[in-house]
Amino acid sequence: MDRISIFGISATGYHGVFDHEKRDGQKFIIDVVLHVDISRAAASDNVLDTVHYGEVSELVVEQIQAGPWDLIEKLGNEIAQAILTTYRSVLEVDVVVHKPQAPIPVPFTDVTISLNRKQKQHTAIIALGANLGDPQATLAQALKDLGEELEILKVSPVAITKPVGGPPEQPDYTNQVIEVRTERSAHELLDLCQSIEAKHHRTRTVRWEARTLDLDLITFDQLRLNDERLTLPHPRAAIRGFVLAPWSWMDPDAVLEGQLVSRLAAEAADTKDIIRL
């Protein structure tokens, strides 16, 4: 995971268990490390695609000046939660609170507490496909099913695509891509997708066979995972035009493994056969 680090943010706060600390105040110094994905910003060179560290610094000062709190543990937690709530693209944050003027009756240099907090909500990309029955109606119902369990942030236009791999003489596919937000883990989201597939009578007897519904988890935050059930990012997403094209229509600045999805879509072998509805 990429990181943005800001060290030595300082302001006067009124935190402490003693009355004189709340009355007179003292200097607090904060270090923050933001765990983010900077690949979109690296591709676009646009400040809107990254976390503005100047704004983060001002947010930290606001928390120092808020309260007052008895404990610097409370202050550190308030800073972390404010950052995660304000910046959903920050997946994890490390906060160190320094209290160099703490009322300790012996010589000392500094007092610090350190904490780490993570986003409770995650962002994922899911690819939908079907080529049996009434595929457009099936995808529409699948979106409703997913919307009952997740927050759907973006939905791509519908694409009609030729089958890739699998048994010959299959019907054309109907495909879409969506971006969702959820508190579920990656495996819990996979379970949900498979339960919705089962609801639509998905079978798994022949690899890449025709199907009533296919829900593929493409990305989950910036998680890299490879176990017996799930590989993230999806191992074939970068060469699948039927995923890349609708994804790029939905989000022209989307990035997969450090590369613009729109560029990958243009290079995918099957993109030329895709029809946008």
Look over the chain and give the mean of its residue pLDDT values, rounded to a whole number: 93
204 pLDDT higher than 70 = no
19 pLDDT band (50/70/90 cuts)? very high
99 in catalytic set: yes
Give the residue from 100, 118, 136 where a domain finishes.
Answer: 118
| Residue 16 structural domain | 2-118
In Å, how far are 75, 92, 163, 232, 252 from 259, measured between CA atoms?
A: 39, 23, 25, 16, 12
Q: Looking at the structure, tell me whether residues 231 and 270 fall in a common domain.
A: yes
Q: Looking at the structure, tell me whether residues 176 and 89 fall in a common domain.
A: no
88 pLDDT higher than 90 = no
The answer to whether the beta carbons of residues 245 and 270 sit under 8 Å apart is no
The residue annotated as part of the active site, out of 22, 99, 120, 199, is 99
Give the residue from 118, 141, 156 where a domain finishes.
Answer: 118
CA 266 to CA 248: how far, in whole Å?
10
Q: Which two tokens stand for residue 84?
A: 């995660």
43 pLDDT band (50/70/90 cuts)? confident
Question: What digits encode the pLDDT tens for the residues 154-188?
Answer: 999 999 998 876 666 788 999 999 999 999 999 99
Q: Which two tokens stand for residue 88?
A: 């959903």
**The CATH number of the domain where 231 resides is what?**
3.30.70.560
Q: Looking at the structure, tell me whether residues 233 and 129 fall in a common domain.
A: yes
Residues sharing a CB contact under 8 Å with residue 40, sequence separation 6 or more, in sequence order: 49, 50, 253, 254, 255
In Å, how far are 28, 223, 244 from 21, measured between CA atoms?
A: 12, 43, 57
Q: So what's the pLDDT on residue 202?
A: 65
Q: So what's the pLDDT on residue 115?
A: 98
Domain count of the fold of the chain: 2
Q: Looking at the structure, tell me whether residues 105 and 131 fall in a common domain.
A: no
Lowest mean per-residue pLDDT among 96-100, 102-106, 219-223: 219-223
